[in-house]
Structure 1
């Protein structure tokens, strides 16, 4: 395969890994710099549930997020099929439920989502009969909900190592535990000196705040439990007054319980109150969680701009990908595809030009 040039990537989280993998597959040479280890355990992507929910997110998100997510649902199977190591992927829809007293909120969400989409079949109001078919264990407590039939999920804890092996096997250089002190067009500076490239990609997330002053952190809290007495088959969002809670089923009776809309950039450990609220919501959703065992607790902050819409900031020799908010798994494949089109000079193939902003030199 013809070599296309050398790209330096600052940040090897979800965006950096997908970008590196995609570039290597197209003949670019790649060097990564990351303050984390190879396993990426400190990445905010490792504290995400991997939900691919372009319609459920429209409660608060702009339509562009829906369009990015729909393209992502198309691209993810292609990415995963190119990885030698298997990664759990499911596309059996997601469900949003609420207690009877919170049903007005559910109706409001339904109206808001319908106002932003073209096809009403992308969100379906379900009654007790349909609920019994979709999630029998929820039917007795939640007789109504919203069903998003095309949505899905993937396992980030499997994706990160799968991408790591692909990137290394394809010949990339990877500087771990390395702090990027400064970067600019064609140049990345670390404690080991300066490195020159044809292109520099800034994928540092909140690590780029010295250069992107409008970034803020949005805290995510995630508890993984083993719950053999629970029988849920797809991601569930429980709408409640304080904040929505999601429960995501994984193989081997593992469930992820989390909240992603906490406006804070604190990385402090999960508080007793926070843990109790998440676990109580899960128990309320399904009493089988009473016998669950906690396997892991993950805390991280996602980078977001004020409008919660991603941006691709660019000038010759430098592209910054940032502000993916809680839509990292949802939006990354589509944004990376546009970056590849830009590098190839196929500007007419960029699907989301509204995300691109010229950066002053």
Structure 2
């Protein structure tokens, strides 16, 4: 069987991977020849954190997200399984209690327990939560690895937008809004810092009633800062958001005040009104979209659902039948 995939972001590459595994001959169409800053997948945090997302997300995000780390592992992508630390500043201690009430699968840490896991945070916080089951990866490494892998497996990449023809999987994100009118953009902004003065082994979430922050460690002393979630298709980088990110990072540890500011980025993530992704079938075309802020967490499960729907005739758990 032949299939074409439109879009080579995290959704498109995951779909191509699932199709190849089923013996399908796959062609991927994307105007850009390689993963890069043109796609919102490039700006992701890479946290495989279904428990933490369960604070606000629906149940399927938590349940399906638990499969993500194993899936990325099977593809040969480096996955760090060291859990997540969740903390709050003294004035926001109630946020930590609220977070604990709305999530499961965490353990409380006192100051000594936190220092044992993250020595560079020693003496700065007297309590925290540790979610040991969670993991993280470097999204840019994951995208490059997945593209190279499927190309070795025979997938053809064509640097053109492409169009539906025969069995098609449309994974274009917001570019597919002409076919998915209820899709909307949710802006996210991030910054990358480099510091030799602080070491973190796992992602840290700093709770705040207005601007929560997450810090994700990457190789070579790099840290990705993110948190903003703005109802907008605007991809411009705002001074206010960057200031808030950097101020929160400084509050987490003053060493971030001396860090090098390596990169600032912003993009709009595709989301449906309920913030859940879905597979929408329209004839021979399967739209795989709406991953919101859960791209690397839910793309593997959504890709599997789409492939099973096409090959086995199953109805995806997250689906929408469109007979237009």
Q: TM-score range by the shorter chain?
A: over 0.9
CA offsets 1:292-348 (integer angstroms, 9 cap, x no match): 11222221111111111111111441111111100010011111122222233163x
Could you tell me which runs of 5 or more consecutive residues in structure 1 were left unpaired when the two chains were aligned.
81-86, 115-121, 189-195
Counterpart position of 1:149? 132
Which of the residues 153, 167, 171 maps onto 1:203? 171
CA distance in 1, matches of 2:299, 2:289: 10
Which of the residues 288, 305, 316 maps onto 1:338? 305
Shift of 1:7: 0.6
Secondary structure at the residue paired with 2:66? helix
Counterpart position of 1:8? 4
Counterpart position of 2:113? 130
CA distance in 1, matches of 2:294, 2:285: 23
| Equivalence map 1:82-231=2 (5 Å) | 87-114=77-104, 122-176=105-159, 178-180=160-162, 183=163, 188=164, 196-197=165-166, 199-231=167-199
CA distance in 2, matches of 1:147, 1:109: 12
CA distance in 2, matches of 1:139, 1:38: 41
Secondary structure at the residue paired with 1:65? helix
Does the aligned pair in 2 maintain the 1:128–1:139 contact within 8 Å? Answer: yes
TM-score (norm 1): 0.85
CA distance in 2, matches of 1:155, 1:142: 27
Aligned-pair Cα RMSD in Å: 1.7
CA offsets 1:145-186 (integer angstroms, 9 cap, x no match): 22111101111111122122223223322221x235xx5xxx
CA distance in 2, matches of 1:234, 1:157: 17
Counterpart position of 2:246? 279
Shift of 1:141: 1.9
CA distance in 2, matches of 1:8, 1:346: 18
Counterpart position of 2:57? 61
Shift of 1:246: 0.6
Does the aligned pair in 2 maintain the 1:36–1:43 contact within 8 Å? Answer: no
Does the aligned pair in 1 maintain the 2:189–2:226 contact within 8 Å? Answer: yes
Counterpart position of 2:289? 322
1:354 aligns with 2:321: no
Secondary structure at the residue paired with 1:36? coil
CA distance in 2, matches of 1:282, 1:318: 44
Which stretch has the larger CA shift, 146-155 or 130-139? 130-139
TM-score (norm 2): 0.95
Shift of 1:73: 2.3
| Equivalence map 1:293-312=2 (5 Å) | 293-312=260-279
CA distance in 1, matches of 2:307, 2:11: 13
Could you tell me which runs of 5 or more consecutive residues in structure 2 were left unpaired when the two chains were aligned.
none
Does the aligned pair in 2 maintain the 1:311–1:321 contact within 8 Å? Answer: yes
CA distance in 2, matches of 1:151, 1:168: 29
Counterpart position of 1:192? none
